[in-house]
Amino acid sequence: MEAILAGIGDALTPINLFFIAAGVFTGILVGAIPGLNAPMAIAIAVPLTYYMSPLAGITFLIGINKGGTYGGSITAILLNTPGSPEATSTAFDGYPLARKGKGLKALKMALYASVFGDTFSDIVLFTVAAPLAIVALKMGPAEMTAVLLFSMTIIAGLSGRSLVRGLIAAALGAFLSTVGLDIQTAEPRLTFGFAELQDGIPIIPLAIGLLALSEILIQIERHLIAGGGGHRSIDIFGRSIPREDKVVSWAEWKTCFRTIMRSSLIGTGIGALPGIGAIVAGFLGYGAAKRASKHPERFGTGELEGVAAAEAANSAVTGANLIPLLALGIPGSLSAAILIGAFLIHGVDPGPLIFKEYPRLVYGIFAAMAVANLFNLVIGGFGLRFFALLVRFPESATHPIIILLCIAGAFATGSSMFSVGIMLVFAVLGYFMRKLDFSFATFIIGFALGENFEVFFRQTVILFMDRPMELFTRPIVLALLALTIWVLWRTGHRRAPAA
């Protein structure tokens, strides 16, 4: 108890509050800018924290992570170019809302849902981290294969008008995820002699090209065809826009609440399991909301619930990601892996003993996380006014800047022109996918899940090679397989009469 109070006291010192705020602000900024993202900013900021106290340093980095998860939604909603890959699903309904002049409403909903999801996930971390980590440990390769198999059923919900095209895109994504060293034999696969491809196609340049740059290409083309004038971006602060389009009403908040809760749970669950990630969580939350909705056809056309579903889910990953990190010393994501390094630099070894050895620091971090959520709400609230000005700039000014940032961001991920090349290849691919109505969402899901699915599947095969029937004695595997079959059956059932 004493440690808890001391920790909270530490977090509330002016200098620590300053670093939390600085972290959140940096996070929102890099999150919002296509090309830059939170893991990148954390990696760059780690050396800066050498000179800070452990608490200030670590909370600064966690602040960046938290701000980053909301920041991505800003450009996703306003410009249809997700500032970070996990905001892809936020753009599905966010951008149509912005086109209808309800951009401010969508931004606010995204902020509230994001902060809610994040807070929910933090509360789970504060209260049941240790037992939840034990449960997560029970998820071996066989269970994880089943989880990923179940996750793939969301492809059906995100395929757009044609399920076949959605599946083709997903298969292409999964195929490209096999590039790189074979995990078992260490033989390079499909690298064509490029050492840079040994670790696989890097997801950040891929996502920047596919999600952000390809959209800019489309917009430029639209602009050119329209003959210079083109469509003018909407002034979401304009007096002509009624007040109810600028705020989230109590009634709307209430209708979305179930969705936000569901997404928060999904995101927290995904966050506690290493190896899935916030991108997939966003899609899963969105897909589940669409499935549960009474009017799924409205999703994708500017449904506020869609924004809430995606943002709550991808933000809820952040807090839960720290569960395996703090309870077991095992990082659940790239950001968490970089955070481990930061902990170690400050002489703190995250693991089973951290609560015993550094209780004051741990509770300080918890308190700082709660404060960071509050700051996210406040800074995000002010920030959205500032960022919303973006859409008032003519596209002839924003497009070149975004293209430049995309190139710089791709370069920064690999410190080489090779990653820029990868980004450009996927920008062209994304352009044609958009033009030909192939869902790039299912492509990203295939790519993001493919790599881990292969790893877990092959691990399972090696482990159960000599006793395959034992797989059917594992309750978690059975439950997930049953759930997968049920969802597939329902999807088929729903589609059949419509077709």
Partner 1 sequence: MRRNLSIIAVATLAAGTAALLPGIAAAEYPEKPITMLIGFRPGGAVDTTGRLLAASMEKILGQPVVGVTKAGGGGTVMASTLVTAAPDGYTIGMGASAAYALAPQMNTKLKFKIDDFDHIATVSIPQDAIVVRTESPWKTLDQLLADAKAKNRPLSFASQVSIATLMTMAISNKSGVQFNVIPVKGGAVGIQEVLGGHVDVTWSGSGWHKQVAAGTMRALASMGPKRNAGYPDLPTLKELGYNFEFVDTFMLSAPKGLPKEVLAKLSEAVKASLTPEFSKNLLSKMRLVTDYRGPAETTAYLHKQHDDMAPLVAELKKKQKK
User: What are the residues binding partner 1 (CB under 8 A)?
Assistant: 43, 46-47, 50, 137-142, 181, 183-188, 193, 195-196, 198-199, 274, 324, 328-331, 334, 337-342, 344-345, 347, 349, 351-353, 414-416, 455, 458-459, 462-463, 465-466
Q: Is 181 helix (H, G, I), strand (E, B) or coil?
A: strand
Look up tokens 């008032």; give the residue: 392
Going by C-alpha positions, the residue among 214, 211, 332 that lies closest to residue 268 is: 332
The string of DSSP codes covering 322-379 is: HHHHHHHS--SSHHHHHHHHHHHHTT---STTHHHH-HHHHHHHHHHHHHHHHHHHHH
Look up tokens 């329902």; give the residue: 490
Between CA 356 and CA 354 the distance in angstroms is: 5
How far apart are CB 52 and partner 1 at their closest, in Å? Answer: 15
How far apart are CB 173 and partner 1 at their closest, in Å? Answer: 19
Q: Is 441 helix (H, G, I), strand (E, B) or coil?
A: helix
Comparing CB distances to partner 1, the nearer of 307 and 448 is: 448
Comparing CB distances to partner 1, the nearer of 225 and 465 is: 465
How far apart are CB 353 and partner 1 at their closest, in Å? Answer: 5
How far apart are CB 140 and partner 1 at their closest, in Å? Answer: 3
Between CA 451 and CA 281 the distance in angstroms is: 16
How far apart are CB 138 and partner 1 at their closest, in Å? Answer: 6
How far from the centroid of its chain's Cα atoms is residue 217's Cα? 23
Comparing CB distances to partner 1, the nearer of 334 and 444 is: 334
Between CA 8 and CA 30 the distance in angstroms is: 28
Comparing CB distances to partner 1, the nearer of 228 and 347 is: 347
Comparing CB distances to partner 1, the nearer of 141 and 230 is: 141
Between CA 25 and CA 211 the distance in angstroms is: 24
Going by C-alpha positions, the residue among 106, 83, 94 that lies closest to residue 32 is: 83
Comparing CB distances to partner 1, the nearer of 8 and 463 is: 463
How far apart are CB 6 and partner 1 at their closest, in Å? Answer: 23
Comparing CB distances to partner 1, the nearer of 345 and 428 is: 345
How far apart are CB 338 and partner 1 at their closest, in Å? Answer: 4
